[in-house]
Amino acid sequence: MLGVTPLDVDSLDVSLAMDFDCAGSHDEVIAEALFGTSAFGCLLDLPHGKPIVFSPSMVISLADNERTQVRVSVESKTSIYEPGEKDQNHDESISLTLTVRQYPQTDERFDPVASFEQQCRLAEELMAERIVHHFVTPLTEVIAQRRST
């Protein structure tokens, strides 16, 4: 009896997520893998410099009207409760999430099935062309390097 009509849809999200098992400081792994030679990475060269909260996220528009957006986020699950405390969540994973969001046009009928199919195609393309090479590979390489030492 209850249904969702196109008028009820504020936005439609398609998310792909993956977790990376990792012991130790997730913040350090993320910083080394994704920001090693960046402006943020140079801050780690400071004496005693190490990241303790580092969960980068970015939202970009894929259309001129900004109704199609992509969010990429890498979430650290390591937490430090008080400075110097060593009780960190070693059994949690680093999470990488790619979300493609579509906002309906206000002057057109919204077709959620067509939008979903388009968003799935975009998500697959982004995973294949950008995310695996620039996010997944560096993260897995740093995690593997830390396991072997």
Render pLDDT for 74-99 as a digit per residue (tens, 0 to 9): 998 876 654 455 555 456 889 999 99
How confident is the model at residue 82, as a pLDDT? 46
The Cα–Cα gap between 39 and 43 comes to 7
Query: Total domain count for the chain?
Result: 1
Q: Residue 24: what pLDDT?
A: 83
pLDDT value at position 146? Answer: 87
Strands (E), the chain: 12-21, 57-61, 68-75, 93-102
Residue with tokens 């949690």, as numbered in its chain: 92
- Identify whether 3 is part of a domain: no
Return mean pLDDT, the chain: 85
Query: What single-letter DSSP state applies at residue 135?
Result: I
For residue 103, the Cα-to-chain-centroid distance in whole angstroms is 20
Q: Which of 44-58, 59-73, 82-96 has the highest mean pLDDT?
A: 59-73
On whether residue 83 sits in a domain, the answer given is yes
Residue 2 inside a domain? The answer is: no
Q: For residue 80, tell me if it sits in a domain.
A: yes
Which residue range forms the structural domain that includes residue 121?
Answer: 8-148
Full-prediction pTM beyond 0.75? yes
**1 lies in some domain:** no
